[in-house]
Structure 1
Amino acid sequence: MWQGLMAQTNAPITITQNKVQLTFTIDPAGQPIYTVDFNGKAFITPSRQGFVLATDSLFYKGFALINTEKKSVDETWKPVWGEVSTIRNSYQQLTVHLKQQTSGHLLDIVFRVFDDGVGFRYEFPYQPDLKYFTVTDEHTAFNLAGDATAWWIPGDYDSNEYPYTTSKLSQVNNSSLVQSATDIAVRTAPDPFAVQTPLMLKTEDQLYVNIHEAALRNYPAMQLHVDGNTHQLSARLVPDAVGNKAYLHAPCTTPWRTIIVSDKAADLLASKMILNLNDPPKTTDFSWIQPMKFVGIWWEMQTGKSTWNYADADNRGKDDGLVPNGRHGANTANVKKYIDFAAANGFKGVLVEGWNTGWEDWFGNWKEEVFDFVTPYPDFNVKEIEQYAAAKGVQMIMHNETSGSATNYERQLDTAFRFMRAYDYPAVKTGYVGRIIPRGEHHDGQWMVNHYERVAQKGLQYHIMIDAHEPPRPTGLQRTFPNWMASEAGRGNEYNAFSNGTAPDHETILPFTRLMGGPMDYTPGIFKLKGYAPHVPDRQMHSTLAKQLALYVTIYSPLQMVADLPENYEAHKDAFQFIRDVPVDWDDTRILAAEPGDYITIARKEKGKPNWYIGAITDELPRKAAIPLHFLDKGKKYRATIYADADNADWKQNPEVYHITTTVVDATTILNLQLAAGGGAAIAILPI
């Protein structure tokens, strides 16, 4: 219920839920200030709020508090798909109504305090003197009480695909990493002290803190500038082509700024705060949305076995007069082999990249009209493939690479989505590799944030599921748009194909960073871990085979790729069984053990069934994992099939060796497993 309070003074206002306490006040200069405590101790010390507007450069001070309102909410809701079947949304809300004394302009700040953190956003109410306005800066700060350890990537306007650095905040400097990251297609990181969110921190008081945002809509992505001397983090918004940050029309709101906190790392990963801060969908019929595993003509292109392009010569994207290069992967006969493989193993989807004309002319030219999204190459028979897939009980997944030309894609969206419906493509993987058009815009700026949402909305109209690559990192919008099922927005497995990849600790960091906002299309399941790129014979995955299995549990996505070549699974059919069995939609998730950069163990219960699956992974160090099974139904017996690293397994020296054992377990069982360096374990637990 609401409780309205007339403000008489600038005395601090406090709201609390469980161990989390939010305090708001206005300092002598009239600047909004907030503080966050956990268990009685401030970990976010007094931090400023406000804006710089094009018409009001001081819209961060001179405020008076004119009114406050409080509200309590405790409800539950059911996601269309996800890691759990039911989500509790319980919080205390404080709304402060502010008025700038010189201009008379109004600003509201809404705080929500949850058991596991705080979210707040700015609301610009309707007011006669502030209708259309431009944000040139946001003055939100997150002042830390000390020099925390951070897991970070550079604050880049166009890419989230960097490897993670672990350092103290005082040591953050992204210059050398940005300069050396030549494997990233487009890099724009002008601030050497900026980091991307979600930012994972561990304080000197052993608190785990994650700073991010929720419900990023009609606003640029927020990055954080790090002051290493004061441990102050300041919001930095991605600019547009002329240097402005956002164009708004009151009444309007900003995204939520989120601070998740716990004294247990595992509890941080279980948080649903970001999802709870997003709006529910406007429609209710999502029966057409189907989480699935899929295979694809992708890894063979990444490793050089075949090509996206039909011809080698530059033909300006036209298919007339092409001379086939003989290595084009998306040909009808090859696609049928992948359809056969999917059908034989119970996978619902087949993704085909490089099927449409334009790939000879697509990258690096900053060209607007490269693809039309409906014209196949001469060796790709759309109708024949549709009929063949339907006969096998398999659905095709579309691929729309835009080469960064969002303007061209928007002009073609209806045509492209009608084409998908005509040929029974229920999902599309979109791509934005390259510099953005409109020229001067960035992947993470307001214009592109709105573009990605327009694509998701168009998907709702045509009943198309979306897997977006090269977008901003997710902020929980999968609640509002359940068809926006996955995104890349991070450094995926593909970097092990065309570059030197990522260190073994990468997958133990991702759940604490990139995955805090939503599912990731990471493309796990690589079984040939050495020698997969003949042109670079020394290149290898930084993982054991057992860890590749575990990633299907630890890195969540409702659209999950079975990424390797079909023939590479032949030598390991017994291990491949786990990939065949593991679901992609869940009723329950338990974080059994976690420490960022070191290890993660997660158990998940299959949607609508009593089966549990566990994934355990480690970093570059071998590690013993003690896995309690207390989540199993008491009094029942289960058969556990354990896919574990062999005794002599090692990600670098001997990555493909493993052993499979079965044992009877119950709720009192503790499984003790040895994880190899860069290794892991996967477990399937089914009732007897």
Structure 2
Amino acid sequence: MPIRIIIAAFLIGNLFWSCQTTTSEKILEIASPDKLLKLELFREENSQNIYYTLHRGDSLWVALSPIGMEVEEFPSQSFQPIQMDFFERDSLITPLIAAKRSSFRDHFSGVKIDFEGPLDLEVRMYDEGAAFRWIGSATDSIRVKKETFEVNPVAPSELFYAPYEQALPDYWKAHLKRIQERIVGLFDVSYPYENHFETQYQRKNLPDLADWELLYSPALLHTKSNQYLLVAESDVRDYPGMILQTSSSNGIKTSFAPYPLEEVIPVDTLIYSRLRKVSKTGDFIAKTSGTRTFPWRIIIATEDPKVLPSTDLVQKLASSSEIQGDLSWIKPGQITDEWLVNANLFNVPFKAGKNTETYLYYIDFVKEFGLEYIMVDEGWYRNGDLTKLNPDIDLKKIAAYAQKKGIGLGLWFNATDLDLSLDETLSYYSKLGVKVVLVDFINRNDQKAMNFYEKLALTCAKYQVMLNLHSAPTPAGFEITFPNAITREGVMGSEWNGWTNFVTPSHNLTIPYTRMVSGSLDYEPGLLENSNEESFKNTWGRPMSLGTRAHQLAMYVIYDNPLQYFIGNPSQARKEPEFMTFLGSMHTTWDETIILDGKPGEYIVTARLKDGIWYLGAMTDWTEREFNVDLSPLGINHYDLQGVIDGVNANEYASDYQWLRSSANSNQQLTLRLAKGGGAVIKILPVQPLPQLP
């Protein structure tokens, strides 16, 4: 290349950079309470966005990245600041349902920026991350055309994420094709944002993702410089949920489902999913009040991955409870579900299945082993019609027997069916004794769907019924605002073991560092038939789990879920009464949570405190591991250990486990040996030391 061309190119490049830097104006700088995390905010003339950078310590972690909101009624929003109010808060928040701990500290530095125009911005800096939200001040309703939020790390990154579309092996594609031919319309997705929010967690370098791929929130970036950046949201009210995609700057950005202008209620009652389909969309994402706060956008930034399963940041940013008065009817606990094992009981004197005798058996089982609820899942009514009850299931008899035994009753509903007579149905079944409803098949997170979740929670609260949402996005603090919405799915869990091999230990080990940050999750553990990679198979009514028995049990300690399901077969559990008694004693709410060790997708060691007793749970991927666990952070000098660990033959026979019973003191480390796909659960019981003899 001639030298004059090189010089000309250099001068043009310098001129371009000069124009970029001279038109950028630094608006503010704000640091976290511990001063380690710093956010800088910039504006540029004639830009639809403003820009931020994020530093931790002396290092730049997030390069210049845009944030913005485009409102139809105000196309020329100015980001010229006219006032800034800085503030700091340090308080305790006590959630009604302590999924992780009984209270958490809400300590942050904040600033509210008033801009020219109808949009202002609030930024909060916590020691573990940054959050911001837009604040509208328009007097009339508005249409939000677009919201921009990018996170562009400085260093090359890999991403832990769940995709909207589950990648299927060829044999599964053929199988699903046959199903589709038999049941026309079941997999007809004309609306690309329709999703069940249950796919396998992946781990890929960012450049390997296509720019059109849609991803769940939260998602976790891990840079080559060992920086962890988790992108999440909170307090999604009257607004679509956040969807993620890769950005053009080797990061990730937001996307949102368009506003549904028209919906079609299915008339085919042979398909129990009965999805309400979006048939027409607008060119905007939300139609809402102009005077309001918008959802929080969150970046958790840490070099220590143990921060992620422990943080309460999403919950801190949620709106306070909309449910008032006496809330003693919201009662966490363990609950059974018969759907995956297909009520496939044995050693019983009756024909097992979807019938009254089976559910009475479940009630006796729950009473025997200390669980609190049973679920009557899909199949108790027929053909999408709540008036056409299954004649083999006498709900009144089941409810009366449950009440006699002091056991709560749960009931499954298709969302479309329930919505047709929401008040009438909940009023009737709450009087019958139903304490919790599982509402399934909404499969969307556009604005209308997100508002429907609120409608369900409020109507359930009216009749003092707890709510579990399936085929729904992650909660993002919803359970703080609506504490009767005690849990939700939003994760690929045990039920997928019935027909796939997707629910692997590495998938299970990604969940605490991604999905669980958003709130409680209904994974439904407790499978008692367990398998290694080589011997795993799908048998309907007799499902296996990938990983060991202790791996399944550890989920009761590691996963946040105040309404924890037991998905195993009660007849099988009764053959192991000591194991089932131990499982039945697991708590579902906690006084404190400490992550002792962990790495996304690979392993975790969690300690939970309840009523003065610590519970330790550990899980690993397909790698055998040995941990020397330091228990000194628990503050116990002398203790007894009682629990379940992988058996010596668990690598070959994954259901093999053994009991651990020993004593130790604070000067000793606990050695845990985990098999491939293994786990452990140990109660750490404090004891008084024997007096010293003179």
- Same fold per superposition (TM over 0.5): yes
Kindly report which structure 2 residues correspond to 1:572-611, keeping only aligned pairs within 5 A, or say none. 572-606=576-610, 609-611=611-613
1:132 & 1:218 partners in 2: Cα distance?
12
Which of 404, 413, 423 is residue 432 of structure 2 equivalent to? Answer: 423
Task: Determine whether 1:281 maps to 2:336.
Answer: no
Partner of 1:396: 409
Task: Determine whether 1:204 maps to 2:213.
Answer: no
Kindly report which structure 2 residues correspond to 1:451-530, keeping only aligned pairs within 5 A, or say none. 451-529=452-530
Kindly report which structure 2 residues correspond to 1:42-191, keeping only aligned pairs within 5 A, or say none. 42-57=60-75, 59=77, 62-82=78-98, 83-99=100-116, 105-127=117-139, 131-155=140-164, 157=193, 158-173=195-210
Task: Determine whether 1:414 maps to 2:423.
Answer: yes
Once the two structures are superposed, what CA deviation does each residue of 1:197-248 show, in whole Å capped at 9, x if it has no partner? 1001111221111101001111111112203x62132210112331431111
Question: Are the aligned partners of 2:341 and 2:543 in contact in 1 as well (CA < 8 Å)?
Answer: no
Shift of 1:293: 0.5
Partner of 1:219: 239
Shift of 1:389: 1.2
What letter matches 1:122 in structure 2?
W
Partner of 2:355: 331
Q: How many residues align?
A: 604
SS at match of 1:51: strand
Which of 266, 269, 275 is residue 306 of structure 2 equivalent to? Answer: 266
2:164 & 2:63 partners in 1: Cα distance?
23
Which of 618, 621, 635 is residue 620 of structure 2 equivalent to? Answer: 618
Shift of 1:538: 11
SS at match of 1:81: coil
Once the two structures are superposed, what CA deviation does each residue of 1:76-120 show, in whole Å capped at 9, x if it has no partner? 021112211111101111111112xxxxx3210110101110111
Question: Are the aligned partners of 1:141 and 1:232 in contact in 2 as well (CA < 8 Å)?
Answer: yes
Unaligned runs of 5+ in 2: 1-23, 166-192, 261-280, 688-694
Question: Are the aligned partners of 1:22 and 1:35 in contact in 2 as well (CA < 8 Å)?
Answer: yes
1:623 & 1:39 partners in 2: Cα distance?
33
1:642 & 1:588 partners in 2: Cα distance?
20
Shift of 1:529: 2.3
Q: Higher mean Cα deviation, 206-215 or 418-427?
A: 418-427
Shift of 1:193: 3.1
Question: Are the aligned partners of 2:499 and 2:540 in contact in 1 as well (CA < 8 Å)?
Answer: no
What letter matches 2:228 in structure 1?
Y
Change (3 A) 1:94 1:421: same
Partner of 1:450: 451
1:152 & 1:400 partners in 2: Cα distance?
29
1:293 & 1:539 partners in 2: Cα distance?
20
Change (3 A) 1:532 1:32: closer
Change (3 A) 1:669 1:424: farther
Task: Determine whether 1:352 maps to 2:376.
Answer: yes
Shift of 1:631: 3.6
Question: Are the aligned partners of 2:239 and 2:286 in contact in 1 as well (CA < 8 Å)?
Answer: yes
1:214 & 1:40 partners in 2: Cα distance?
28
RMSD: 2.3
Kindly report which structure 2 residues correspond to 1:634-653, keeping only aligned pairs within 5 A, or say none. 634-635=636-637, 637-650=638-651, 653=652
Partner of 1:249: 289
1:87 & 1:534 partners in 2: Cα distance?
42
Partner of 1:657: 656
2:357 & 2:80 partners in 1: Cα distance?
71
Q: Percent identity?
A: 26
Shift of 1:67: 1.4
Question: Are the aligned partners of 1:475 and 1:517 in contact in 2 as well (CA < 8 Å)?
Answer: yes
1:169 & 1:463 partners in 2: Cα distance?
45
Change (3 A) 1:230 1:536: same
Shift of 1:540: 3.7
SS at match of 1:342: helix
Partner of 1:675: 674
Question: Are the aligned partners of 1:528 and 1:568 in contact in 2 as well (CA < 8 Å)?
Answer: no
Question: Are the aligned partners of 2:337 and 2:374 in contact in 1 as well (CA < 8 Å)?
Answer: yes
Change (3 A) 1:152 1:641: same
Question: Are the aligned partners of 1:208 and 1:268 in contact in 2 as well (CA < 8 Å)?
Answer: no
Once the two structures are superposed, what CA deviation does each residue of 1:120-148 show, in whole Å capped at 9, x if it has no partner? 11111134xxx222122212222221221
SS at match of 1:261: strand
Once the two structures are superposed, what CA deviation does each residue of 1:488-532 show, in whole Å capped at 9, x if it has no partner? 011011100122232221111001111111111111111122599
Shift of 1:623: 0.7
Change (3 A) 1:285 1:20: farther
Question: Are the aligned partners of 2:27 and 2:81 in contact in 1 as well (CA < 8 Å)?
Answer: no
2:536 & 2:411 partners in 1: Cα distance?
26
Task: Determine whether 1:28 maps to 2:32.
Answer: no
Question: Are the aligned partners of 2:61 and 2:154 in contact in 1 as well (CA < 8 Å)?
Answer: yes
Once the two structures are superposed, what CA deviation does each residue of 1:580-604 show, in whole Å capped at 9, x if it has no partner? 2211111111111110010011010
Which of 197, 205, 215 is residue 195 of structure 1 equivalent to? Answer: 215
Unaligned runs of 5+ in 1: 1-8, 100-104, 174-190, 307-325, 362-369, 437-441
SS at match of 1:279: coil
Once the two structures are superposed, what CA deviation does each residue of 1:35-79 show, in whole Å capped at 9, x if it has no partner? 2111122212111122233345555xx431111111111100211
Shift of 1:535: 4.7
Q: TM-score, normalised by structure 1?
A: 0.84
Change (3 A) 1:22 1:284: farther
SS at match of 1:194: coil
